[in-house]
Amino acid sequence: MAVVETRDLTKVFKEGQLGAVNNVNLETREGEFLVFLGPSGSGKTTLLRMIAGLETPTSGEILIGGQVVNDLSPRERRIAMVFQSYALYPHLSVYKNIAFPLKAQNVKKELHKEKVEWAASLLGIGALLDRKPRELSGGERQRVALARAIVREPAVFLLDEPLSNLDAKLRASAREELERFHRRVGTTTIYVTHDQVEAMAMGDRVMVLNKGVVRQLGTPTDVYDNPADTFVATFLGSPPMNLAELGDVIVGFRPEHFRPVSTVTDAAVPFRFKVENIEYLGSEWIVSGTLAGGKLEGKKVFSRLSSAQNLQLSGTYDFAVPQNHLKFFDRSSEKRVEPRAVSWQQHATK
Amino acid sequence: MFSPAVLYILLLVGGPFFLAIFYAFSDARIGNAEMHFVGLENFRSILQSPSFRVAIRNSFIFTICSQIVVIVGANILAISLEKTFRGRGIIRFLILLPWVAPIALGAIGWKWILDSIYSVITWVLVAIHIYKPFSAPMWLGEPRLAIASVLLVHSWRLMPFSTVILLAGRTAIPKDIPEAAAVDGAGFWRTQLQIVIPMMRPIISVAVLFGLIFTFTDMTVVYILTAGGPFDSTQTLPSLAFALGIQGSDLAAGAAISLFLVPLLVIIAYFMLRVAHRAEVN
Coil vs helix vs strand at A159: strand
- At B215-255, the pLDDT tens digits run 888 888 888 888 877 888 888 888 888 888 888 888 888 88
Average pLDDT for residues B81-108, to the nearest whole number? 84
Task: Give the nearest partner residue to A75 out of B176, B182, B198, using CB atoms.
Answer: B182
Q: Do B185 and A105 touch (CB under 8 A)?
A: yes
What ipTM, to 2 d.p.? 0.80
- Position with higher pLDDT, B45 vs B279: B45
Helix (H) or strand (E) holding B45: helix B41-48
CB B157 within 8 A of CB A45: no
HSE toward the beta carbon, residue B265, CA cutoff 13 A:
14
Could you give phi then psi for residue A275, rounded to 5 degrees? -80, 130
Report chain A's C-alpha Rg in angstroms: 24
- Rg (C-alpha) for chain B, rounded Å, is 22
pLDDT band at A345 (very low <50, low <70, confident <90, very high): low
pLDDT over 50 (residue A347):
no
User: Quick one: pLDDT at residue A287?
Assistant: 93
- pLDDT at residue number A138: 85
- Residue A163 near residue A193 (C-beta atoms within 8 A): yes
Find the mean pLDDT for residues A244-264.
88
Q: Is the pLDDT of residue B54 over 60?
A: yes
A344 touches chain B (CB under 8 A): no
Q: What is the pLDDT of residues A71-93, one digit of tens each?
A: 998 888 889 999 988 999 999 99
- CA A262/CA A264 separation, integer angstroms: 6
**Residues of chain A neighbouring B185 (CB-CB closer than 8 A):** 74-75, 101, 104-105, 152
Closest among B126, B146, B143 to B135, alpha carbons compared? B126
Q: How many Cα atoms are found within 13 Å in the side-chain-facing hemisphere of A68?
A: 8
For residue A52, the chain B residue with the least C-alpha distance is B183
Residues A273-304 have pLDDT tens digits of 999 999 999 899 999 999 987 778 888 999 99
**CATH classification (class only), B49-281:** mainly alpha
Q: What is the mean pLDDT of residues A250-260?
A: 91
Chain B CB contacts of A87 below 8 Å: 174, 176-177, 179-180
Quote the percentage of chain B above a pLDDT of 70: 98
d(Cα B58, Cα B255) in Å, to the nearest integer? Answer: 19
Task: Please provide the average confidence, as pLDDT, over all residues in chain B.
Answer: 85
Closest-approach residue (CA) in chain A for B174: A87
pLDDT at A346 over 70: no
pLDDT at B279: 64
pLDDT computed for residue B282 by the predictor? 53
Predicted local distance difference test score (pLDDT) of residue A82: 92
- Alpha-carbon gap, residue B95 to A121, rounded angstroms: 51
- A94 φψ region: left (φ > 0), alpha (ψ -120 to 50), beta (else): alpha
pTM listed for this prediction: 0.79
- Residues A182-238 have pLDDT tens digits of 888 888 999 999 999 899 999 999 999 999 899 999 999 999 999 999 999 999 988
Residues A64 and B172: their CA atoms lie apart, in Å, by 34
* DSSP assigned state of B142: S
Give the pLDDT mean for A162-188.
86
| Minimum-distance CB partner of B180 among A53, A87, A105 | A87
CA distance A86 to chain B (A): 8
Residues in chain B: 282
Q: Tell me the domains of chain A and their CATH numbers.
A: 4-225 (3.40.50.300), 240-337 (2.40.50.140)
